A and B are shown apart, each in its own frame.
Chain A
Amino acid sequence: MDVPLARRIKDVARAVLPHVAFLTILFIAADQLVRTGLVSRFTIPAFNDFLNALLNLPRNPDMPGSFTNHLIMTIYELGAAALIVVGVVLPLALLIGLRYTARRVFEPLLLAFFAIPSIILYPVIYLILGIGPPSKIAMGALVGSTYTFIYVLNAVKHFDQSLVRMASTFTTSRFKILTKVAIPSIIPIMVSAIQLGISYAMVGVIVAEVIASSTGLGFLISWSETTIRVPVMYATIAITIIFAAVVYVSLKLFERWVRGRMKEI
């Protein structure tokens, strides 16, 4: 049944307005703390300084390189890392996960690897690949792959093999069983794995940019922190949080869309 438009607007307003009020109060309080001198401007910038820095980020002359180039570089590195995770690691994880013995062999090794903070391997990666996009892509792919592997190996344990067995009583065509039963039943696992893998690949890329890099949003945050450009630092953090949130929401919407399509099928 369709919900009337007026009611829908009312529901949205009821959900959004408290957050708008909360954030407004938060910003005003922070601004007042800075203006009254209770909190130093080196800790939190005044609201108008922050807004000014945010609006002028693309035209900031002090910045090493243009802001747009840094943003593009982060998107490029994340895209490349995501491509490795989705195109290489995910099929490999499915291949291992769907075979009982292979899964039993790899699972404890991967669980042990999962416990290791992958970021500690970054110095080794940049020793081999140099401080540039390849090392950051590798770092993103490494972090994303670990989580993808663990998730897929766990999820396929619960994959209902009886569906495949039942299908094989109706048809002998392996291709048909694969395309009509096996692949559709593991699509939800794949979608969740993609979501997890890309989210963690982003963590890897940004951490790598912060620690040792000369490009990307993470580098900008690190640069503005060390050069004490506090408003620029907060503005870049805000943009990066928005970027992370957009990636997260897009992946969630993609997951919802696929699940919806699956229900229709």
Chain B
Amino acid sequence: MRVTAGTNKFMVINGSRATLILTFFGAWELLVSSKILDEFFIPRPSSVIQRIIQIATSGQYLDQMLITLSTFSLGLLAGSLLGLLMGFVIGGVKYLRNFMMVYVLLVAATPKVLFYPIIIKIFVQPFYFKIAFVALHAFIFVTIAVVSALRNMNPEILNMCKTYGCSTPLKVYRKIFWPYAFFSFLAGLRMATISSFVGAVVADMLIAPGVGYTVRLLAYNFKVVDVYAVIILVALFAITINFVLLRVEGAAGKRLRLELEQASQ
């Protein structure tokens, strides 16, 4: 096989990446086994991997993970739908957009955890609190994404649509606003998903049950290997979600570009 410069670079990059990861875990294992790092607080990676396999096969903590997953999904769904609606309402009317964006940006710039006591007081039940708290994380990103897309819209397109028969506001939203905001919405949705997952874990840490609470409880009981194992499982889940979303975003973008090209021909 001929080795090209491209293949060579690919091998160097992937080789460096693998070396970096292996060095990190190797150094960690070595530092703990040589007692430079205290095993009571930082366990060996090998024991963590063993524990991960045990957890994965026994289904331990699965119930807690499912609780987090359900609040995350429901919150993301509610927040995205609300954000989409809010984005269209605010973004579609210039005065409302200029007026309301100050508040939307203020909430975006504020750590969302500040609102948790207010949400608890309103929703009382932990399950509903968590959904609302996650929804707040998703809502802001989707709203900002949709409003930004509509703000940059060429007004000529809107005028043209009206000339060609977009007589009702619903038609305007369906034929113009939605396709125009779609790309931005997808980008916002990816950020909203990452943020919502953070929100779900924070909500768990504040109120039981859930995976965040489990990690906190395990840490209080000094079950350090379990803490690391659960964290790595959660991390793997989060990385998978992000990867899938990147793929979906890429595929949807490709499809939309193709459709636009076909329409322009």
Contact residues, A138-184 vs B (CB, 8 A): none
A244 within 8 A of B: yes
For residue A95, give the distance in angstroms from its CB to the closest CB of chain B. Answer: 15
With A112-B242, A210-B206: A127-B41 Cβ-Cβ less than 8 Å: yes
- In the assembled complex, which residues on chain B have CB atoms less than 8 Å from the CB atom of A233? 117
Tell me, rounded to whole Å, the shortest Cβ–Cβ distance linking A125 to chain B: 10
Bound-complex Cα distance A240 to B20 (A): 40
Cα(A108)–Cα(B17), bound, Å: 9
Q: B110 touches which one: A101, A105, A118, A245 (CB < 8 A)?
A: A245
Which chain A residues border B231 with CB–CB below 8 Å? 120-121, 124
B218 adjacent to A123 (CB under 8 Å): yes
Cβ contact within 8 Å between A127 and B113:
no
The answer for the CA separation of A119 and B116 in the assembled complex, in Å, is 15
Asked if A115 contacts B242 (CB within 8 A), the reply is yes
Q: Which residues of A contact B121 (CB under 8 A)?
A: 42-44, 230
Q: Please report whether the interface of chain A is mostly helix, strand, loop or mixed according to DSSP.
A: helix
Contact A211 B13 (CB under 8 A): no
Binding-face segment, B59-67, B196-204, B251-259? B196-204
Q: Which of A22, A127, A218 has the most CB of B within 10 A?
A: A127
Given A101-B12, A115-B238, A127-B219: A206 touches B114 (CB 8 Å cut-off) = yes
Nearest CB on B from A135, distance (A)? 11
Q: What string of 1s and 0s marks CB contacts (under 8 Å) between B6-45 and chain A?
A: 0001001100110011000000000000000000011000
Q: Report yes or no: B206 in contact with A116, Cβ–Cβ below 8 A.
A: no
A35-64 interface bits toward B, Cβ cutoff 8 Å, 1 = contact, 0 = none: 000000011100000000000000000000
Selected from B16, B115, B118, B218, the residue in CB contact (under 8 A) with A101 is: B16
Chain A residues with Cβ below 8 Å from B116 are 210, 225
B164 nearest CB across to chain A (Å)? 35
Which residues of chain A (205-240) have a CB below 8 Å from chain B? 206-207, 210-212, 218, 221-222, 224-225, 230, 233-234, 237, 240
- Chain B residues with CB under 8 Å of A22's CB are 99
Q: Which of A42, A115, A222, A225 contacts B241 (CB 8 A)?
A: A115
Asked if A248 CB lies within 8 Å of chain B CBs, one says yes
How many A-B contacts at CB < 8 Å in the complex? Answer: 122
> Could you tell me the distance between the alpha carbons of A220 and B20 in the complex, rounded to whole angstroms?
42
For residue B201, which residues in chain A have a CB less than 8 angstroms away from its CB?
Answer: 117, 119-120
Partner of A218, one of B12, B113, B239: B113
- Expressed in whole angstroms, the Cα–Cα distance for A211 and B117 within the complex equals 12
Closest to B37 in A: A128
Q: Is the interface of B mostly helix, strand, loop or mixed?
A: helix
Assess whether B198 is in contact with A206, with CB atoms less than 8 Å apart. Answer: no
Known pairs A105-B13, A116-B238, A120-B212; A221 contacts B117 (CB<8 A): yes
B227 in the interface, Cβ–Cβ < 8 Å?
yes
CB–CB B238/A202 < 8 A: no
Contacts of A98 in B (CB 8 A): none
Q: Are A127 and B224 in contact (CB under 8 A)?
A: yes
**B69 to chain A: closest CB distance in Å?**
13
Contact present for A128 and B41 (CB under 8 Å): yes
Q: Kindly provide the distance from the CB of A102 to the nearest chain B CB, expressed in whole angstroms.
A: 8
Complex CA gap A125/B216 in Å reads 11
Q: Across the interface, which residues of B come within 8 angstroms of A230, CB to CB?
A: 121
> Shortest beta-carbon distance, A64 to chain B, in Å?
17
Query: Given the complex, which residues of B lie within 8 Å of A240, measured CB to CB?
Result: 110-111, 114
Cα of A207 to Cα of B115 in the assembled complex, Å: 11
Interface membership of B205, Cβ < 8 A: yes
Identify B111's interface contact among A115, A118, A203, A224, CB under 8 A: A203
- What are the 7 A-B residue pairs with the smallest beta carbon separation, nearest first? A123-B219, A115-B242, A225-B117, A117-B198, A116-B235, A248-B109, A203-B111
Q: Pick 23 A–B contacts, CB within 8 A, sort by A.
A: A44-B121, A108-B17, A115-B239, A117-B201, A119-B198, A119-B205, A119-B212, A120-B212, A120-B234, A123-B216, A124-B228, A127-B41, A127-B224, A203-B111, A207-B113, A210-B116, A211-B205, A211-B216, A212-B216, A221-B114, A233-B117, A237-B115, A244-B114
Q: A124-B231, A244-B111 are in contact. List 9 more A-B contacts (CB 8 A).
A: A19-B102, A112-B242, A119-B198, A120-B231, A126-B219, A210-B116, A218-B113, A241-B114, A248-B109
- Interface of A with B (CB < 8 Å)? 18-19, 22, 42-44, 101, 104-105, 108-109, 111-112, 114-124, 126-128, 199, 202-203, 206-207, 210-212, 218, 221-222, 224-225, 230, 233-234, 237, 240-241, 244-245, 248
